[in-house]
Amino acid sequence: MSSYAIGIDLGGTNIKAGLVNKNGKIQSRLSIKTNYNADPQIISNQIFGLIEEFINSANSTTAEVGGGLKPPPISIVGIGLGSPGLIDEKGETIIFSPNLPKWRNIPIKRMVTERFSMPCVLENDANAAAWGEKWAGAGKEASSMVMLTLGTGIGGGIVIDNKLWRGANNVAGEIGHMVIQMDGPPCSCGNYGCFEAFASATAMVRRFKELLKSGTSSSLKDSGEITAKAINDAAFQGDRASLDIIKETGQYLGIALVNIMHVLNPEVIVLTGGMIGSGELLMNPIKEVISQRAFEASYKDTKIVFSKLGNDAGIIGAAGCLLKELGISV
Amino acid sequence: MSSYAIGIDLGGTNIKAGLVNKNGKIQSRLSIKTNYNADPQIISNQIFGLIEEFINSANSTTAEVGGGLKPPPISIVGIGLGSPGLIDEKGETIIFSPNLPKWRNIPIKRMVTERFSMPCVLENDANAAAWGEKWAGAGKEASSMVMLTLGTGIGGGIVIDNKLWRGANNVAGEIGHMVIQMDGPPCSCGNYGCFEAFASATAMVRRFKELLKSGTSSSLKDSGEITAKAINDAAFQGDRASLDIIKETGQYLGIALVNIMHVLNPEVIVLTGGMIGSGELLMNPIKEVISQRAFEASYKDTKIVFSKLGNDAGIIGAAGCLLKELGISV
């Protein structure tokens, strides 16, 4: 009998789920569109529905008896749930989630456990994704890892000594809100000069528009519809302004990575999120800044790599957190 | 029989040592002046001499027999050595120490172990001091702690989950070299805008002199002999310029502490080193900046405190690292 965990990645537009084996491979997937503004009860029923579907499917697989080859029976041992937002210190309740504004103080762990009589682990989504990369992805060989998710905002997850480091109040890893220019531009968080205010997709688009306003020519026009993806595509077409802005973004990322190396000296830094589509255009300036600004002892053995699991990291990591808690995986 | 460890704090001008009990109290002390430029052999002989003196004293105490009250026999179980500079990943060799320029690749752990047939632990001095505060000082109740040593430079030590976090290459905790203003002034490390380049004693003196040059009046004159101590003393006498520059230093410290809280979310941040003599003059602006710039969830439960052990943290912590390794203390 093989042990599997259900991993769920709770987003504001989709709930994605997977049946994950103890080696971190997704065996089957389900996904459902959700309305970020729906009542908690509707969304939790959607979550329950996905879990039921996996359980029913596993039972019917196991019940199939006949003369031919039988697939190995599947034992679902529990549910790992990754959620955006703030989770209480005990890992039981979603206190608040910016993507799901009506979710306030929802004791989702207990709700799942009681309904399915199975263990459930609730983890912040950035932590879950970081654990996925550590367990089965780009950080597999490392005992210490920092992961940065580069998207609309910049999220972070920290693995120290083969364990997620969640902090004293479950809020460690807010690496996007590390100040790198104390008199810098305002950040959405209310602070100034946060790394996120320079290097997120949002910040890159803002800087690009400023560049256009200052008269720089580009194949992209300021139609108000400029996105990080469009900048990336234009850069690959050779657009100078787009190339420059991605390079600058990489330089800002380099500064943040210098800080991470000096403070934490991790074995691996994993970059993920939509912006890593720029590939070497982003990675080269990162590495250049690090070689100029970091202590050699801090960076010489630190690998800087892109995610291996991509969008699956959240599902795999949530399941992995559950399997780790049960002692089934490392 | 009580178990004791010898803790040694290796400095460029003094080697300080103490016999430390398993509760982190110094039972007796020794200290010897050293010449930072002396040959490694001379300095290591000085270290050996201190260790021998403790051992002989313990033996003679134990050997004293008579009719009266006998002091409890002392068992020295090993030696903890805190050293500035870069220590190899195995914790055996001092690769390089800025305070002891002739020390290059000295396998001091093996030298001590072989000579005294006792276990020895070699630890970076900032880490040793941080462990001292965690074990027996201001971080005693916490399972996670960051310590900053505010002096000529800014050193750091990190405790995560009740253990020192040394990093993948033994160089974590270089918190003074976290960039807080990427286009800031040059730092001694070759980078720009490091926290140390704003908030160390050296940086405070530099900024104070700039203030005087710009025409600000002060009871301190720019005689080239302005020190952080003199600025502190003048501030306590009400000197406006000195008060302002200490306040500004606290504000820079506040930015760095915001970053530490957002990245690591530790239970306690301990400040130590010469500059904490400014007391509330330094602490008030730190806390003000944090309340303005940090997430409430990140700082609400984090204590920011001054060191309890002061200059003894290095001795106590070095001994504590040894006792922890032997499983005698937590």
Hey, are the CB atoms on A263 and B156 less than 8 Å from each other?
A: yes
> Which residues of A fall within a CB distance of 8 Å from B163?
161
Question: Which residues in chain A have Cβ-Cβ distances shorter than 8 Å to B174?
Answer: 262-263, 265, 295, 298
Q: Nearest C-alpha of chain A: how many angstroms from B112?
A: 26
pLDDT attached to residue B262: 97
Share of chain A above pLDDT 70, in %: 95
Cα B251 to Cα B285: distance, rounded to the nearest angstrom: 5
Within 8 A by CB and 6+ apart from A259, the residues are A178, A180, B178, B179, B259
pLDDT of A65 reads 53
Distance from CA of A243 to the nearest CA of B (A): 21
**Residue A77, token pair as written in the block:** 């041992």
Per-residue pLDDT, B68 = 60
- What pLDDT sits at residue A89? 87
Distance from CA of A149 to the nearest CA of B (A): 14
Gap between the Cα atoms of B232 and B201, Å rounded = 10
Rg (alpha carbons) of chain A, rounded to whole number: 21
Q: Give which of B147, B259, B296, B301 to mutate to test A binding, by max A Cβ within 10 Å.
A: B259
Q: Are A183 and B181 in contact (CB under 8 A)?
A: yes
Query: Which of B168, B178, B189 is closest, CB to CB, to A259?
Result: B178
CA separation for the pair A272, B29 (Å, rounded): 53
Q: What structural domains does chain B harbor?
A: 2-134+311-325 (3.30.420.40), 141-307 (3.30.420.40)
Average pLDDT over every residue of A220-227 = 80
CB contact under 8 A, A180 and B182: yes
CA dihedral B159, B164, B165, B171 (to 10 degrees): 120
Q: Write out pLDDT tens, residues A102-152.
A: 889 999 999 999 999 999 999 999 999 999 999 999 999 999 999 999 998
User: In this model, does residue A80 exceed pLDDT 90?
Assistant: yes
Query: Which parts of chain B register pLDDT below 50?
Result: none
Q: Which residues of B touch A158 (CB under 8 A)?
A: 263-264
- Tell me the pLDDT band of A70, cut-offs 50, 70 and 90: low
CA B301 to CA B141: how far, in whole Å? 13
Q: What is the predicted ipTM? A: 0.93
CA distance B197 to chain A (A): 14
Distance (Å, whole) CA A99 – CA A15: 12
Res B2: pLDDT: 84
Q: What is the pLDDT of residue B66?
A: 55
Q: Cβ of A297 and B179 within 8 Å?
A: no
Place of tokens 């109290």: B25
SS3 B297: helix
Q: Report residue A107 as tokens.
A: 């004791």
* pLDDT tens-digit series, residues A151-196: 989 999 999 999 999 999 999 999 999 999 999 999 988 999 999 9
Query: Residue type at B257?
Result: L
Shortest Cα distance from B85 to chain A (angstroms)? 12
Contact status, residue B222 vs residue B213, Cβ threshold 8 Å:
yes
User: Would you state the pLDDT for residue B11?
Assistant: 85
| Cβ-based contacts under 8 A for chains A and B | 149
Q: How confident is the model at residue A86 (pLDDT cuts 50, 70, 90)?
A: confident
Q: Taking Cα atoms as reference points, which of A41, A122, A43 lies closest to residue A82? A: A122
pTM, two decimal places:
0.94
Asked if residue A72 has pLDDT above 70, the reply is no
What digits encode the pLDDT tens for the residues B176-191?
Answer: 999 999 999 999 889 9
In angstroms, the CA A92 to CA A83 distance is: 11
In B, which residues are within 8 Å of A174 by CB distance?
262-263, 265, 295, 298
Question: Are A78 and A20 contacting, i.e. CB atoms less than 8 angstroms apart?
Answer: no
Mean pLDDT estimate for chain A: 93
- Please give the residue of chain B at the shortest CA–CA distance from A189: B295
Per-residue pLDDT, B71: 63
Handedness of CA A296, A297, A300, A305 (dihedral sign): negative
Q: Which residues of A touch B266 (CB under 8 A)?
A: 167-168
